A and B are shown apart, each in its own frame.
Chain A
Amino acid sequence: MKENKDRLSALVAQLSTCLPAECILHEAENLAPYECDGLSAYRCLPMLVVIPENIEQIISVIKICSENKLPLVARGAGTGLSGGALPLEDGVLLSLAKFNRILDIDINNQTARVQPGVRNLAISEAVSKHGLYYAPDPSSQIACSIGGNVAENAGGVHCLKYGLTVHNIQKLEIITMQGEQLTIGSNALDSPGYDLLALMTGSEGLLGIITEVTVKLLARPSSAKALLVSFDDVATAGQAVSNIIADGIIPAGLELMDNAAIRAADDFINAGYPRDAAAILLCEIDGTDEEVNDQLKHTMDVLKQSGATEIRVAKDEQERIKFWAGRKAAFPAVGRLSPDYYCMDGTIPRYQIANVLTRIGELSDDYKLPIVNVFHAGDGNLHPLILYDANIEGELERTEELGGKILEICVKAGGTITGEHGVGIEKINQMCVQFNSNELQQFHAIKHAFDPDELLNPGKNIPTLHRCAEFGAMHVHNGKLPHPELERF
């Protein structure tokens, strides 16, 4: 105990030589706000938190961690849903909250250069007067930071047409664990050498610390219209999604909600949703006025042929926003149904939607845990919400087990364990289902090319082979395996 205290004091003294005292937090009450990110089922107090104010200070922190072989976890807004920013007990948490400035808006090149702590929505707000916006729109966009978006390759409602974070950034400034500053990508549309921009995006803070992001800005479409479409069967709604896309239409957003989600959202914000529908699709078409009119008509024809029982067209912008309000409030609305819920993120080929939803329903019955479905149907990105009560002993564990099974079904259906929330600590075991040992070893080799001492966010994203050998036999709490000293094969 005393040894730990001495170690902490020495570290604080060392950090104090390069950071102002108020940028170093080490008292338990100051550390508490950092004990978890958006996945609050996992909590851990870090040894200390640093909140640097400039690049030099970040480099100093990295060097000190590197010298002392201390793990370093970067944190943006802490809204991530997979525990990617979960601190490590014996590590330093690096908050980028003070890197919150928009550095440059380049209208002619349609880019903005921003610091990593800038909120996603703040970028669109800053450029809206120029008729531009930043396309990826994760549901947490009011709070989440662009640095975290890059680390997680964040998506959102409009991915099908406008892509993920990886499609909407051009350049990063990063610092490696060796303290080296590197520019990845460029202000041109491509750059020489390997596509490290793709490699960095979604790397969950394991490869480098992002200190600046240049994002692409798109012209705001001149028109957007929304449809609210009812079905008397979830599978029929799932099939309609495929039919729309097969017919050559790429909606800006195509979301599916099942009956439980419809009712929850309607109860919560009085969205005016058809409460008796088995499922609804929210479909948005954007583009030029003519394009929107043409495609809206086309989409309605496809929907009628696909068994829609009712199609409502938002008559004006106000109603369009109301249609979406229910969808956007769906998660908090579901939060009122149950003390806790657990959000999954598996992604599957669209043609498997009906089949996988049926399997999820069966599992829900088996485990006696209700599941609500509200998701990005156009991308095949499911978000089953498992309702549970953490105060009932063993229920969280059963929920996680059920969640794990859902992800395995997604992989078997030709999909992936995570579409946009990331692996973090949450899905680390399911990585063993998705990838074989050679593939995981290749990932570790990539990690070593950037961070040979494995100090950046260790234990997240890529499981060790030992851990995969263990998977199934035990569960993980706070990122800590029982008996970590034992080698397991």
Chain B
Amino acid sequence: MNNDLSDNLVEQITRAYGKKTPLVIISGGSKSFYGNVIEGTALNVKQHSGIIEYRPSELVLTARSGTKLSDIENELSKNNQMLAFEPPSHNRAATLGGSIACGLSGPRRPFAGAARDFVLGTTIINGKGELLKFGGQVMKNVAGYDASRLMVGAQGTLGVLIDISVKVLPKPESELTLCFDKPFDDAHRTLRNWIIQGQPISASCYYEKRLFIRLSSTANSVKQAHQTIGGDIQHDKNSDELWKQLQHQDHKFFKHNNDDPRDLWRVSVPPATPAIATECPQLTEWNGALRWISSNEDMFELARQFDGHATRYTLNKKTGNDSTGDIFQTLPAGMLALHRRIKQSFDPANILNPGRIYNEL
């Protein structure tokens, strides 16, 4: 599908700005759970799709926001390249725009970088209906404020993403998944040592008393690393199945939450944080920096105690999230006030996904 609807979207937003009509931005809908339920006129960007430019030698792909992630990944695969931040596509409906707007990243994140690290440029429509271009298609660009990366995770509250340029990377020549039986703290201490030694690790997961790591490098290097650090080779039908499940959040730990009365919490903490909420089922990624915790308890305070933040991650919950309380960790008053001023600078009539992240934004 190759469809440029930017003029039409400019028109719709300009009209909404004039009438102060709140808009709810919709694309693939795979992350509708990730934020407050809000009301307004639907602004559908899903049809605004297609890869605009892709030059493998430039390591840059530019696509319209409604382009499906799976289409992008297929195209990249043809040239042995990938989106190295491994964005989740949930029910495979995810689009590039939604992925960048939500800013979620997968297993390779602590090694390769997050969604925001790969965004080189964006074209957006702000809340006044102005089509604006920030950043570009080059690796380095310090002209003006970095408004492109500001869009990552802003969930459309600052602007509707139209076109996005992302940096892509070559796929590693060889990958291998290894497994170790170790208690949590020991596993993470060992993992830290391997990382400081420069072992070619590209992902880690701790689940049910076992540490899984992925090695990514040239074949010789992966082989040597395995010899040095040991561990059992994972012989799944597809050796990277585990990492795909974690990336797309359809690993059984996430599914388990389907009928669970407990909430799934995404708790982001400094990686060397010891085991927390040990009575709750959990899965750890990112060398300890990302804790998925299933709990009845509110995780906001615990996350704060450990210098991190929590998100009520209502993935797979059928009920709406309007009655369940805050989704995202509350911001300190000064930060929230600054967020509001920034929101106002992009969206003075407060029409773009108002209230999606915080009621005040």
Which A residues are closer than 8 A to B by beta carbons? 106-111, 130-132, 152-153, 155, 159-160, 163-164, 166-167, 176, 180-183, 186-196, 198-199, 201-203, 207, 219-222, 242-243, 245-246, 248-250, 287-291, 293-295, 347-351, 376, 379-381, 414-423, 427, 431, 434-435, 438-439, 442-443, 445-446, 448-450, 461-462
Which residues of A have CB within 8 Å of B283? none
**Contact residue among B56, B59, B113, B140 (Cβ-Cβ distance under 8 Å from A419):** B140
The answer to whether B138 touches A380, judged by C-beta atoms less than 8 angstroms apart, is: yes
Task: Answer whether residue B307 sits at the interface, using C-beta atoms and an 8 A cutoff.
Answer: yes
The answer to whether A192 touches B329, judged by C-beta atoms less than 8 angstroms apart, is: yes
**Pairs of residues from A and B, 3 with the lowest C-beta to C-beta distance, nearest first:** A198-B149, A108-B272, A246-B57
The answer to whether A290 touches B132, judged by C-beta atoms less than 8 angstroms apart, is: no
The answer to whether B170 touches A189, judged by C-beta atoms less than 8 angstroms apart, is: no
Which residues of A have CB within 8 Å of B307? 186-188
Task: Answer whether residue B187 sits at the interface, using C-beta atoms and an 8 A cutoff.
Answer: no
Q: Taking A193-B331, A442-B132 as contacts, is the C-beta distance between A187 and B308 under 8 angstroms? A: yes
The answer to whether A189 touches B289, judged by C-beta atoms less than 8 angstroms apart, is: yes
The answer to whether B117 touches A167, judged by C-beta atoms less than 8 angstroms apart, is: yes
Q: Mark B317-361, 1 if CB is under 8 A from A, else 0.
A: 000000000001111101110110110111000000000011000
The answer to whether B57 touches A195, judged by C-beta atoms less than 8 angstroms apart, is: no
Which residues of B have CB within 8 Å of A163? 113, 117
Which among B38-46, B192-200, B246-254 touches the partner chain? Answer: B192-200
Q: CA separation between A194 and B140, bound complex, in Å?
A: 22
**Contact residue among B114, B146, B217, B330 (Cβ-Cβ distance under 8 Å from A199):** B146
Q: CA separation between A438 and B139, bound complex, in Å?
A: 24
The answer to whether A418 touches B142, judged by C-beta atoms less than 8 angstroms apart, is: yes
Shortest distance between the CB of A176 and any CB in chain B (Å): 8
Q: Mark B123-143, 1 if CB is under 8 A from A, else 0.
A: 000100011111011111111
Which residues of B have CB within 8 Å of A290? 217-218, 220-221, 223-224
Q: CA separation between A415 and B58, bound complex, in Å?
A: 12
Number of interface residues of B (CB under 8 A): 86
The answer to whether A350 touches B57, judged by C-beta atoms less than 8 angstroms apart, is: yes
Q: CA separation between A279 and B176, bound complex, in Å?
A: 40
Which residues of B have CB within 8 Å of A203? 145-146
Which residues of A have CB within 8 Å of B289? 188-189
The answer to whether A186 touches B308, judged by C-beta atoms less than 8 angstroms apart, is: yes
Give the nearest-CB partner of A221 in chain B: B198
Q: Knowing that A248-B80, A443-B147 are A-B contacts, what are 11 other residue pairs whose CB atoms are under 8 Å apart, sorted by A's residue number?
A: A167-B117, A189-B114, A190-B103, A191-B309, A193-B358, A196-B150, A242-B57, A291-B217, A294-B221, A419-B141, A419-B142
The answer to whether A416 touches B136, judged by C-beta atoms less than 8 angstroms apart, is: yes
Give the nearest-CB partner of A376 in chain B: B140
Give the nearest-CB partner of B60 in chain A: A349
The answer to whether B113 touches A188, judged by C-beta atoms less than 8 angstroms apart, is: no
**Contact residue among A107, A188, A443 (Cβ-Cβ distance under 8 Å from B269):** A188
Shortest distance between the CB of A358 and any CB in chain B (Å): 19
**Contact residue among B139, B144, B339 (Cβ-Cβ distance under 8 Å from A423):** B144
The answer to whether A187 touches B143, judged by C-beta atoms less than 8 angstroms apart, is: no
Q: Mark B154-198, 1 if CB is under 8 A from A, else 0.
A: 100010000000000111010000000000000000001001111
Q: Taking A195-B116, A349-B138, A414-B137 as contacts, is the C-beta distance between A434 and B149 under 8 angstroms? A: no
Shortest distance between the CB of A223 and any CB in chain B (Å): 9
The answer to whether B133 touches A439, judged by C-beta atoms less than 8 angstroms apart, is: yes
Shortest distance between the CB of B204 and any CB in chain A (Å): 13
The answer to whether B56 touches A246, judged by C-beta atoms less than 8 angstroms apart, is: yes
Which residues of A have CB within 8 Å of B139? 159-160, 347, 379-381, 419
Chosen A-B contacts, 6 in total, with CB atoms closer than 8 Å, are: A164-B140, A193-B328, A202-B146, A203-B145, A379-B138, A381-B139
The answer to whether B143 touches A434, judged by C-beta atoms less than 8 angstroms apart, is: yes
Which B residues are closer than 8 A to A by beta carbons? 55-60, 80, 103, 109-110, 113-114, 116-117, 126, 130-134, 136-147, 149-150, 152-154, 158, 169-171, 173, 192, 195-200, 217-221, 223-225, 268-272, 286, 289-290, 307-309, 311, 328-332, 334-336, 338-339, 341-342, 344-346, 357-358
Which residues of A have CB within 8 Å of B334? 180-182
Give the nearest-CB partner of B266 in chain A: A190
Shortest distance between the CB of B358 and any CB in chain A (Å): 8
The answer to whether B144 touches A434, judged by C-beta atoms less than 8 angstroms apart, is: yes
Which residues of B have CB within 8 Å of A132? 196
The answer to whether B140 touches A347, judged by C-beta atoms less than 8 angstroms apart, is: yes
The answer to whether A189 touches B109, judged by C-beta atoms less than 8 angstroms apart, is: yes
Q: CA separation between A291 and B224, bound complex, in Å?
A: 10
Which residues of B have CB within 8 Å of A107? 196
Q: Among the interface residues B113, B132, B138, B335, which one has the most CB atoms of the partner chain A within 10 A?
A: B138
The answer to whether A445 touches B221, judged by C-beta atoms less than 8 angstroms apart, is: no
Q: Taking A153-B142, A349-B138, A380-B138 as contacts, is the C-beta distance between A293 and B149 under 8 angstroms? A: no
Which residues of B have CB within 8 Å of A439? 132-134, 144
Q: CA separation between A450 and B311, bound complex, in Å?
A: 27
Q: CA separation between A413 and B62, bound complex, in Å?
A: 16
The answer to whether A189 touches B221, judged by C-beta atoms less than 8 angstroms apart, is: no
Q: Taking A153-B142, A188-B307 as contacts, is the C-beta distance between A294 and B329 under 8 angstroms? A: no
Q: Taking A188-B268, A189-B268, A245-B57 as contacts, is the C-beta distance between A199 and B331 under 8 angstroms? A: no
**Contact residue among B146, B158, B336, B338 (Cβ-Cβ distance under 8 Å from A153):** B146
Q: CA separation between A245 and B131, bound complex, in Å?
A: 33
The answer to whether A348 touches B138, judged by C-beta atoms less than 8 angstroms apart, is: yes
Q: CA separation between A153 and B220, bound complex, in Å?
A: 36
The answer to whether B138 touches A347, judged by C-beta atoms less than 8 angstroms apart, is: yes
**Contact residue among B140, B220, B223, B225 (Cβ-Cβ distance under 8 Å from A159):** B140
Q: CA separation between A462 and B307, bound complex, in Å?
A: 35
Q: CA separation between A164 and B130, bound complex, in Å?
A: 30
Q: Taking A287-B200, A442-B147 as contacts, is the C-beta distance between A422 and B58 under 8 angstroms? A: no
The answer to whether A250 touches B146, judged by C-beta atoms less than 8 angstroms apart, is: no
Give the nearest-CB partner of B286 in chain A: A189
Q: Taking A190-B114, A219-B195, A288-B217 as contacts, is the C-beta distance between A423 and B345 under 8 angstroms? A: no
Which residues of B have CB within 8 Å of A130? 196
Q: Taking A187-B270, A189-B290, A295-B218 as contacts, is the C-beta distance between A195 and B152 under 8 angstroms? A: yes
Q: Taking A201-B146, A288-B221, A435-B144 as contacts, is the C-beta distance between A450 and B57 under 8 angstroms? A: no
Which residues of A have CB within 8 Å of B145? 199, 202-203, 207, 443, 446, 462
Give the nearest-CB partner of A448 in chain B: B345
Which residues of A have CB within 8 Å of B272? 106, 108-109
Q: CA separation between A421 and B140, bound complex, in Å?
A: 10
Which residues of A have CB within 8 Å of B330? 192
Which residues of A have CB within 8 Å of B286? 189
**Contact residue among B136, B192, B223, B311 (Cβ-Cβ distance under 8 Å from A108):** B192
The answer to whether A192 touches B309, judged by C-beta atoms less than 8 angstroms apart, is: yes
Which residues of A have CB within 8 Å of B192? 108
The answer to whether A420 touches B140, judged by C-beta atoms less than 8 angstroms apart, is: yes
Shortest distance between the CB of B137 and any CB in chain A (Å): 6
Q: CA separation between A107 and B221, bound complex, in Å?
A: 25
Shortest distance between the CB of A110 and any CB in chain B (Å): 8
Which residues of B have CB within 8 Å of A152? 142
Shortest distance between the CB of A118 and any CB in chain B (Å): 21
Shortest distance between the CB of B321 and any CB in chain A (Å): 16
Q: Taking A418-B142, A450-B338 as contacts, is the C-beta distance between A193 and B346 under 8 angstroms? A: no
The answer to whether B271 touches A349, judged by C-beta atoms less than 8 angstroms apart, is: no
Q: Taking A194-B158, A290-B220 as contacts, is the C-beta distance between A222 and B142 under 8 angstroms? A: no
The answer to whether B117 touches A186, judged by C-beta atoms less than 8 angstroms apart, is: no
Shortest distance between the CB of B282 and any CB in chain A (Å): 16
Q: CA separation between A163 and B167, bound complex, in Å?
A: 11
The answer to whether A379 touches B140, judged by C-beta atoms less than 8 angstroms apart, is: yes
Q: Taking A194-B154, A221-B198, A418-B142 as contacts, is the C-beta distance between A109 and B338 under 8 angstroms? A: no
